[in-house]
């Protein structure tokens, strides 16, 4: 934070606004209508997004004084790694709507900060490209991989193998998006976020995925029921007609259509259940983190099933309209987990004070979703980095000004429920 204040002395304004409201306003101006609808939008009436903020606002910090806070430490340890701050970057798909090399730029931002970047399964760049960029900045910079559990088991294995190969420290399995939520902002402008290929590079760069597309094309041309497959590909055609995406340019017309349709058909498995989870442990040696847990009973069951961590999350209010605010869920879940697994939280985290509240309520770390995307929209990798750096700087100040010197010392004693 010193840098920002020093810059102020010289009359320099920061690259990105230092408060979320202004950041969001400026990002809105900088983004296309499609990008804004997808990134800023939420499910239904937006109730869950409001609840995420309301839940945070119901907790007040009660600062302590005269405690010598001159030396402070934000560092934590997560899955055997020392991290500079209890902050991670949430997986965000289809970032290509905002900038062409979105994921690579965010990777650079994360590596510069040493903050883990959770690669989205629906990333707009292959994870290998993002990992290479991160290694260029800082060899071995922390990265995780987020999985949407496909209907195709071999594709799941392929993704898990790629995640290990690029040095992921953990795999995050997102459970709240077995189907896409009801998202009026996208629906009202007729925008299917992935229609032009944004967010499917993780798939089109996958050997198993290509195999599936090729099989479909073969059966469309000469297979057993060509009329069915051709129908599917024709539907695709209307989706992908204006597709200018990078991967599309490298493919023939039927291939991109088949790719987008195949992606839509197989990216997730609505039948997913606890039995499926049991088998996952045999398929990867990486720590397993379940994302999208909101009920304490599910958290207990996940821990009993041997998972290494959970992310308390309502997907930034994008899935179930009217869902519980993630901080309200955290307050019940952290005691239920009781230290038996790592607990992360996201959805609505906007400031350093928000992170402090999450930690005090028992989270080991908090993840940032939309804010870094807004930084990206305004100033690319530098913008994404500055947004996350600002949140960490504010956390450091808030920690000290609240009378604490280490994030590990925070507990509910520093909070009062006021609503
Ligand atoms: C997401 N999120 C998400 N989660 C995930 O597991 N895989 C994904 O591909 C995506 N994609 C995605 C796209 C966009 C545009 C947004 C805004 C969010 C959810 C994300 O990881 C995180 O849970 C929320 O963004 C956190 O809420 P806030 O910080 O955005 O309020």
pLDDT tens, position by position, 307-351: 999 999 999 999 999 999 999 999 999 999 999 999 999 999 999
**What's the whole-number mean pLDDT along residues 9-30?**
94
The alpha carbon of 182 and the centre of ligand 1 are apart by a number of angstroms equal to 15
Question: Nearest residue CA, atom 29 of ligand 1?
Answer: 369
Asked if residue 39 has its Cβ within 6 Å of ligand 1, the reply is: yes
Report the 10 Å Cβ neighbour count for 159.
Answer: 26
Percent share of the chain, pLDDT over 90: 79
Question: Nearest residue CA, atom 16 of ligand 1?
Answer: 92
Report the 10 Å Cβ neighbour count for 384.
Answer: 34
Asked if residue 316 has its Cβ within 6 Å of ligand 1, the reply is: yes
Spell out the residues 6+ positions from residue 333 whose beta carbon is closer than 8 angstroms to its own.
293, 294, 295, 296, 299, 310, 312, 343, 362
Q: What is the pLDDT of residues 220-278, one digit of tens each?
A: 766 554 444 444 444 444 344 334 344 444 556 667 777 788 888 999 999 999 999 99
According to the annotation, is 98 in a ligand binding site?
A: no
Radius of gyration for the chain, computed over Cα atoms and rounded to the nearest angstrom: 21
Asked if residue 149 has its Cβ within 6 Å of ligand 1, the reply is: no
Question: Nearest residue CA, atom 5 of ligand 1?
Answer: 91
Pairing assessment for the beta strands 81-83 and 76-78 based on DSSP bridges: antiparallel
Q: What is the pLDDT of residues 32-74, one digit of tens each?
A: 999 999 999 999 999 999 999 999 999 999 999 999 999 999 9
The alpha carbon of 298 and the centre of ligand 1 are apart by a number of angstroms equal to 20
Q: Which domains does the chain show, CATH number per domain?
A: 2-179+269-417 (3.20.20.70), 192-266 (no CATH)
Pocket test for ligand 1, best of 31, 38, 91, 374 (most atoms within 8 A of CB): 91
**Ligand 1 atom closest to the CA of 49, numbered from 1:** 31
Q: What is the pLDDT of residues 350-381, one digit of tens each?
A: 999 999 999 999 999 999 999 999 999 999 99
Asked if residue 313 has its Cβ within 6 Å of ligand 1, the reply is: yes
pLDDT, residue 344, reads 99
- Phi then psi dihedrals of residue 61, to 5 deg: -85, 135
The alpha carbon of 111 and the centre of ligand 1 are apart by a number of angstroms equal to 20
Question: By the 8 A CB rule, do 346 and 91 touch?
Answer: no
The alpha carbon of 215 and the centre of ligand 1 are apart by a number of angstroms equal to 32
Asked if residue 183 has its Cβ within 6 Å of ligand 1, the reply is: no
According to the annotation, is 404 in a ligand binding site?
A: no
pLDDT, residue 214, reads 81
Report the distance separating Cα 117 and Cα 119, nearest Å: 6
According to the annotation, is 202 in a ligand binding site?
A: no
Spell out the residues 6+ positions from residue 17 whose beta carbon is closer than 8 angstroms to its own.
23, 25, 26
- Judge whether residue 8 has pLDDT over 70: yes
Report the 10 Å Cβ neighbour count for 58.
Answer: 17
Asked if residue 326 has its Cβ within 6 Å of ligand 1, the reply is: no
Asked if residue 142 has its Cβ within 6 Å of ligand 1, the reply is: no
According to the annotation, is 357 in a ligand binding site?
A: no
Active site residues: 315
According to the annotation, is 46 in a ligand binding site?
A: no
Helix, strand, or coil (residue 315): helix
């Amino acid at each position: 934070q010193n840098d920002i204040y020093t810059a102020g002395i010289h009359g320099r304004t920061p690259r990105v606004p230092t408060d979320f409201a202004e950041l969001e306003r400026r990002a809105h101006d900088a983004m296309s209508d499609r990008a804004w609808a997808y990134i800023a939008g939420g499910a239904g009436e937006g109730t869950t997004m409001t609840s995420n903020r309301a839940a945070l606002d119901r907790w007040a910090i009660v600062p302590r004084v005269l405690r010598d806070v001159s030396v402070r430490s934000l560092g934590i340890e997560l899955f055997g790694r020392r991290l500079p701050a209890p902050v991670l970057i949430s997986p965000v798909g289809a970032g290509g709507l905002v900038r062409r090399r979105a994921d690579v730029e965010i990777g650079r931002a994360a590596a510069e900060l040493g903050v883990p970047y959770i690669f989205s399964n629906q990333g707009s760049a292959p994870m290998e490209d993002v990992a290479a960029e991160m290694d260029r900045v800082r060899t071995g910079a922390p990265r995780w991989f987020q999985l949407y559990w496909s209907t195709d088991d071999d594709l799941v294995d392929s993704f898990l193998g790629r995640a290990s190969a690029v040095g992921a420290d953990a795999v995050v399995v997102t459970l709240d998006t077995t189907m896409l939520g009801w998202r009026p902002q996208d629906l009202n402008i007729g925008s299917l976020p992935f229609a032009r290929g944004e967010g499917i590079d993780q798939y089109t760069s996958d050997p198993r995925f290509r195999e599936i597309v090729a099989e479909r094309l073969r059966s469309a041309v000469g297979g057993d029921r060509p009329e069915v497959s051709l129908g599917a590909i024709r539907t695709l055609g209307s989706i992908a007609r204006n597709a200018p995406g990078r991967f599309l340019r490298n493919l023939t017309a039927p291939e991109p259509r088949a790719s987008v349709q195949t992606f839509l058909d197989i990216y997730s498995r609505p039948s997913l259940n606890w039995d499926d989870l049991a088998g996952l442990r045999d398929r990867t040696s990486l720590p397993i983190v379940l994302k999208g847990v909101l009920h304490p009973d599910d958290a207990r069951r996940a821990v009993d099933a041997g998972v290494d961590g959970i992310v308390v999350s309502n997907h930034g209010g994008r899935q179930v309209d009217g869902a519980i605010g993630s901080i309200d869920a955290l307050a019940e879940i952290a005691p239920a987990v009781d230290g038996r697994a790592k607990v992360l939280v996201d959805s609505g985290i906007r400031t350093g004070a928000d992170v402090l509240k999450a930690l005090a309520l028992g989270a080991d770390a908090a993840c940032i979703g939309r804010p870094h995307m807004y930084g990206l929209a305004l100033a690319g990798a530098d913008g994404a980095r500055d947004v996350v750096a600002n949140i960490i700087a504010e956390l450091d100040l808030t920690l000290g000004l609240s009378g604490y010197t280490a994030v590990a010392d925070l507990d509910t004693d520093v909070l009062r429920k006021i609503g």
